[in-house]
Chains A and B, each alone.
Chain A
Amino acid sequence: MNAFRGLRAMIYKEVLHAVRDRMALVFSFIVPLFQMIILGFAIDTNVRQVHTVVYDQSGRSQSAGAQDAGTSESRAFLDRFRNSDTFHIRKFVHSDEELNEELIAGRARVGIKIPVDFARDLVNGDSAQVLVLVDGSDSAVAGQALTVSSQIALDESLSRLLPEHAPAPIESRPKILFNPASRSPNFFLPGMLAVLLLFVTTMLTALSVVREKERGTLEQLLVTPVKPLALMLGKIAPYFALGVSELCALLVFMRFVFQVPIHGDALLLTLLSTCYLFVNLTLGILISTKANSHPEAMQLSMMIMLPSLFLSGYIFPRENMPLIFFLLSYVVPATYMVDISRGVILRGAGVTELWIDALVLASMGVCILLFAAKRFQKMIV
């Protein structure tokens, strides 16, 4: 009891601050929602409708230079490209120079050149060559274009070799679990929750304490019998409330604006996430024991937020990280939150799978809080 002396007074005051500064509160509530909208619509890691340009020489008589080139064979082959979701044929060109130019200018990412003797080779049973040029400047696009174009060539070859309606000797039937449509928002938004929640927790708490340092009110508080723990929890309380409402708002947005299904229990997700919010809030307090000014607090918050972005597995899969970063990712709270949120939302995981993440987060929070309280006592204002 005594360690929390003054907590009620602190909460009384913090609530008044929040009411006075309603605009700032509303603003910080809205920003993450906007970020989710922007990122949610912008991120689409699936490669679709890659701009493609075709130079079809097939069947063209070398001397005539006829404009309407193409044979039924080449057109059938190109239809396979057209029917795949990956390619979008935007233009036919009539020379190698034009083909190159389209690629260099970036108007097309893929160039397909079908040589003059394509149809003849096919009919004669010789190997027909097709040149597929892929712009390598975006590795995801290049990879996808490569795979799909080889697949198309293989399919076309098989259908020519096998008798009509004969089944392929082996047919692989891949099934993508948990996110069958491979929708990017389904995968990215649950992870993004962890990052978006950082803003309204770590940074705002740090700033709120540092503001008191700058105004000299912290010095005044330290002369009163308020205990450091009470002071810190009082500072945390409003941002905890903000964090929980933010989380709920983000979940609603994710579910109804982006149509990401939540396979698990949303209430459980909220409950487990409170551990994550708690860690972030204590980190904010820890920052404020070091920072003496607004800019300093912002910089330190950024230093905490960046690793969360890159190490948590939200952007880069943790399994592919160099060992040192992989190990580091274990001390980044967002790692556990990404796990919890993807677990509940995508895989429908429950307490049995996720309690350990929550426990790790809660213990981190308590440790940081006690450490910050120690620093608080020694702080010179």
Chain B
Amino acid sequence: MTAIRAEKITRRFGEFTAVDGVSFQVEAGEIFGFLGPNGSGKTVTIKMLCGILPLSGGDAWVDGIDVRADPDSVRSRIGYMSQKFSLYDDLTVLENLRFYGKVYGLGGAKLERKIEEIIEQNNIRPYVNRQAGKLSGGWKQRLALGCALLHEPHILFLDEPTAGIDPVARRQLWDLLFELSGRGITFFVTTHYMDEVERCSHLAYLYYGKLIADGTPAALRHLPDMTPPGTHRVEITTEDVTSALRTARTLPAVRSATIFGRSIHALIEDSVSGNELGEILRRKGYDVEDIRSLAPSLEDVFVELTDRRQKELETPA
């Protein structure tokens, strides 16, 4: 079943086109990662799909409902967590939950039961009587997610849900997302964290209003010519990565190279093997510990896609 379908959706602000003819399809139960640099139009896309920003062009269906025709029905079936914390700071956790429950028409024993369930699920019991504004970042996000879940939406839009929270809280939030996704809820998530990208079941990459990649992580990794013909990728682990990187980049056989932790990821020409590159670096005085060949990481993929797109834009048509 299709949860979200976008057909050439476009949003213009005056002369400026923030989202330009974007099409994609998200199946029910997927965790759809929507990526792109700052200002590429992710939030604008989400707002259009949630029915709070009218489309300038194109069509979209959310949970089978035409967003243009019936935004009200869409709203009662989705949950939305905006990029910025947007619950009431002066209300307590419990009051925020009650308010959102009432907004969705819940009441009485049903509401209390649902709130109880959300508190349990999000582990927020110790904080129920604390004002939302006084919670730390991670708890705020749990509360926001809890509020978005109260009315049992089929689809959840999470705009950078983990921005600015610590790794443990991030891990816990993702565990919860997986659990909910297992129950059939569809997630539309934006993020800038590559480890989170790897957890998604479906990815799309938006670059300044244009969709330039769409597929499963595996499919994106194996996109033809992600590793151009006549080249291959290697990972070189060494003590002194920064200066080794500088040196590696001066070698003619090295097309590109970046640092990942204690190692260098390099795209090199087939004329040189990984071991030969290691030898060259050793001769220059680097203590190379390990060399292995490498499939492109998703980050490699996005960097490559971005580079290409930029080159396309620079060369006049």
Given the known inter-chain contacts A9-B102, A21-B90, please indicate yes or no for A223 contacting B78, CB distance below 8 A.
yes
Question: Complex: how many Å from CA A132 to CA B95?
Answer: 74
| B105-A5 in contact (CB<8A) | yes
A299 within 8 A of B: no
Q: Does B286 contact A (CB under 8 A)?
A: no
Q: A220-B86, A223-B50 are in contact. Are A12 and B78 (CB under 8 A)?
A: no
Q: Which of these, B86, B89, B105, contacts A219 with CB under 8 Å?
A: B86
Q: Is the CB of B87 within 8 A of A8?
A: no
* Option from B76, B87, B91, B95 in Cβ contact (under 8 Å) with A225: B76
| Given contacts A224-B104, A381-B52, A219 and B82 within 8 Å (CB-CB) | yes
Distance of A352 Cα from B116 Cα, bound (Å): 57
Closest A residue to B79 by CB, please name it.
Answer: A223
Looking at chain A's contact residues, the main secondary structure is helix
Contact A8 B102 (CB under 8 A): yes
- Interface size class, chain B: 20 to 34
Please tell me if the beta carbons of A16 and B95 are within 8 angstroms of each other in the complex. yes
Report chain B residues within 8 Å CB of A224. Answer: 75, 100, 103-104
Residues of chain A lying within 8 A (CB to CB) of residue B89: 215
In the complex, the answer to whether A13 meets B88 with C-beta atoms within 8 Å is: yes
When C-beta atoms are compared, the residue in chain B nearest to A10 turns out to be B103
Beta-carbon contact of A225 and B103 below 8 Å: yes
A225 and B72 form a contact (CB under 8 A): yes
Within 8 A of A (CB), among B94-111: 95, 98-100, 102-105
Q: Which of A1-18 contact B (CB under 8 A)?
A: 5-6, 8-10, 12-13, 16-17
Contacts of B51 in A (CB 8 A): 223
Contact B102 A225 (CB under 8 A): no
Question: Among the listed B52, B75, B86, which residue makes an inter-chain contact with A217, where contact means beta carbons less than 8 Å apart?
Answer: B86
Complex CA–CA separation, A6 to B54 (angstroms): 22
Whether the pair A9, B103 counts as a contact (CB closer than 8 A) is yes
Closest chain A residue, CB of each to CB of B88: A217
Interface residues of A (CB under 8 A from B): 5-6, 8-10, 12-13, 16-17, 20-21, 215-217, 219-226, 378, 380-381
A-B contact pairs, 19 of them (CB 8 A): A5-B105, A6-B102, A6-B103, A12-B98, A13-B88, A13-B95, A216-B85, A217-B88, A219-B86, A220-B82, A220-B86, A221-B103, A223-B50, A224-B100, A225-B72, A225-B75, A225-B76, A225-B104, A380-B53
